[in-house]
Amino acid sequence: MKLNTLKLAIAAAMAIPLATGAAAQADYPEKPVQIVVPFGPGGAGDIFARVFVNAINENNLFGQPMVVVNEPGGGTTVGSGEVKDAAPDGYTILQLHQTLITSKLMGTSDYGPEAFDPIAETHHVCMTYASKEGSGLDTLDDVRAMSAANPGSVKEASLLGSLVHFSSAMLNDAADLGVKSVNVGGGGKRNASVLGGHTQTMVTMPFVVAKPDSGFHGLAFLGAERHPALPDVPTAIELGYDVEACVNYWWFAPKGTPADRVAALADAFAKAAELESVVAAMTDRGVEIEVLTGAKLQARIDANVAAYTAVAPSIAE
């Protein structure tokens, strides 16, 4: 009897922390969650984040408000560093894309995606390689031929070390285009440079090229399939070049965040991605909804790390 009584006492004592832990997990979230966007207000990353966060809040998909906090600076490293060093409790998370990879490769930061716990990918937009309409550069073959005939004559408007630079380097290497990247600056400056004839090509978002009377001509779409807004622009893959270059928007938590909290956050973003309002808002901006979590998400991140690492030597030249 004494032995049985002792066993019951031990079992009861062991059950107390288990029950306490279960209650603690059930309590999450107990307060608002900060979504750190490492860009200023009004840019694409900020707008996309707010589409999801607003939908989650308006439809009560999480139980506590999510609040977007803009932390620009340092080429996104101010915001990403803040989340990396935050308490791993599920109350401070990051939205960022492959800049987290390129920053490490370019030496801007000493960490990449491995410094975080990935929550979800919710959307992406693939790049378009474009020229000016009427420039005579109507195909990638035209670009290659002009470069071969007059080396250095085809210059690309770029932002050195950025995603567009890495994306163009992938295509340039695969298709042997012989294009020289010129550091022009942000999207508006790159547009003006190409339209003004100062440079001949650029990597941009598909909706920039698709705008009526944009003045741009799409040479290759860098997605797996043709973009619906650019049905006449072939993919690089169709043209024989194994190149995909997209901006994949990922949500990250600090390393060590409890798995159940990561899962709760992922569930909220996945539910938001199914809402008609979110689908419409993103589709109108030329962005594709695709939700990845767990092993599939990690595989997507790993594949991007490998692709960007492989092209990094070309960037350094």
CATH code, domain with 152: 3.40.190.10
How does pLDDT run across 174-192, given as a tens digit for each residue? 999 999 999 998 888 999 9
- Predicted TM-score (pTM) of this structure: 0.85
Looking at the structure, tell me whether residues 120 and 162 fall in a common domain. Answer: no
Distance CA(123)–CA(103), nearest Å, equals: 21
Segments in the chain below pLDDT 70: 1-26, 317
Looking at the structure, tell me whether residues 117 and 141 fall in a common domain. Answer: no
Residue 65 within any structural domain of the chain: yes
H or E segment and range at residue 116? strand 116-126
Residue 82 within any structural domain of the chain: yes
- CA count, 13 A, side-chain hemisphere, 284: 9
Residue 173 is predicted with a pLDDT of 94
Distance of alpha carbon 137 from its chain centroid, rounded?
A: 29
> Roughly how many angstroms between the first and final C-alpha of the chain, as a whole number?
80
Contact (CB, 8 A) for 132 and 215:
yes
Our count of domains for the chain comes to: 2
Residue 234 within any structural domain of the chain: no
Looking at the structure, tell me whether residues 119 and 251 fall in a common domain. Answer: yes
Distance CA(172)–CA(28), nearest Å, equals: 48
Please give the order of strands across the beta sheet that includes 33-37. Answer: 66-70, 33-37, 92-96, 246-254, 116-126, 288-292
Looking at the structure, tell me whether residues 179 and 115 fall in a common domain. Answer: no
Looking at the structure, tell me whether residues 118 and 133 fall in a common domain. Answer: no
H or E segment and range at residue 170? helix 163-175
Residue 317 is predicted with a pLDDT of 67
Contact (CB, 8 A) for 133 and 216:
yes
Residue 11 within any structural domain of the chain: no
Looking at the structure, tell me whether residues 212 and 256 fall in a common domain. Answer: no
Contact (CB, 8 A) for 154 and 143:
yes
Residue 212 is predicted with a pLDDT of 92
Looking at the structure, tell me whether residues 119 and 134 fall in a common domain. Answer: no
- From 181, 205, 221, the end of a domain falls on 221
Distance CA(174)–CA(261), nearest Å, equals: 41
- Supply 287's token pair: 């962005």
Looking at the structure, tell me whether residues 132 and 102 fall in a common domain. Answer: no
- Supply 67's token pair: 């609040």
- Taking each helix axis from N to C end, the angle separating 259-273 and 276-284, rounded to the nearest 10 degrees, works out to 70
Tell me which residue range forms the domain holding 190.
128-221
Looking at the structure, tell me whether residues 214 and 182 fall in a common domain. Answer: yes
Looking at the structure, tell me whether residues 84 and 134 fall in a common domain. Answer: no
- From 206, 221, 236, the end of a domain falls on 221
Contact (CB, 8 A) for 146 and 137:
yes
Q: The domain spanning residue 41 has which CATH number?
A: 3.40.190.150
Residue 26 is predicted with a pLDDT of 58
Q: Can you say whether residue 24 is alpha, beta or left, with left for phi > 0 and alpha for psi between -120 and 50 degrees?
A: alpha
Looking at the structure, tell me whether residues 43 and 79 fall in a common domain. Answer: yes
How does pLDDT run across 147-176, given as a tens digit for each residue? 999 999 999 999 988 999 999 999 999 999
Residue 233 within any structural domain of the chain: no
- From 221, 238, 266, the end of a domain falls on 221
Residue 284 is predicted with a pLDDT of 85
Residues 6+ positions from 241 with CB-CB distance below 8 Å: 140, 171, 174, 175, 220
User: Please, which residues bridge with residue 253 across strands?
Assistant: 117
Looking at the structure, tell me whether residues 108 and 253 fall in a common domain. Answer: yes
Residue 173 within any structural domain of the chain: yes
**Interior angle at CA 156, CA 41 and CA 195, nearest 5:** 75
Residue 230 within any structural domain of the chain: no
Residue 240 within any structural domain of the chain: no
Please report, as a single letter, which amino acid is at residue 40: G
